[in-house]
Amino acid sequence: MIKVLFVCHGNICRSPMAEFCLKDMLAKSGTANVTVSSAATSAEELGNPVYPPARQKLREHGIDPSGKRARRITREDYDGYDIIVAMERYNLRNMLRVIGGDPENKFRLLMDYTDTPGDVADPWYTGDFDEAWRDIEKGCSAMLERIKTGKPL
């Protein structure tokens, strides 16, 4: 079983979009050996549902994120997940602060799985949920390909 945790600042936009995008791709591909979740680096949105425009973007793709509530990453998550995937470098920096390091080299950036490494566009500031979705879908597709072919994540 592969356990993946996506992380962004508040866990109401990008990381839940990535969580549900990858879950949907896994289900459609018949890949059952992966567990996916998401979390925040901040406590600002704890307990809040997926942000309405992010929820709408997921629903446009036939994905229902109902029931998802923002939670914060914990030190225990480091032991509980095989790979912890940030949406941007700022998240990586905060993950290092919260977890206290990355001794097992579990931290990744989602876009580093693609041929266009960098940060996932942040729709909280840009308002462009289409651009964020394109980045997330591209990153999750690349992750799925690695999972299906048995390549290291």
For 40-71, the pLDDT digits (tens) are 999 999 999 999 999 999 999 999 999 999 99
Instruction: Output the pTM of the full model.
Output: 0.97
At 127 the pLDDT is 93
Band (pLDDT 50/70/90 cuts) for residue 108 is very high
At 90 the pLDDT is 97
Q: Which residues are catalytic?
A: 8, 14, 122
Q: Which residues contact 128 (CB under 8 A, 6 or more apart)?
A: 121
Q: Which two tokens stand for residue 139?
A: 């990153």
At 102 the pLDDT is 98
How much is the mean pLDDT over the chain?
Answer: 97
User: What phi and psi values does residue 14 have, to the nearest 5 degrees?
Assistant: -70, -50
CATH superfamily of the domain spanning 2-149: Response regulator (3.40.50.2300)
The domain locations on the chain are 2-149
Query: Which has the closest alpha carbon to 3: 35, 38, 39, 40?
Result: 35
Spatial distance between the Cα atoms of 22 and 16, rounded to a whole number of angstroms = 10
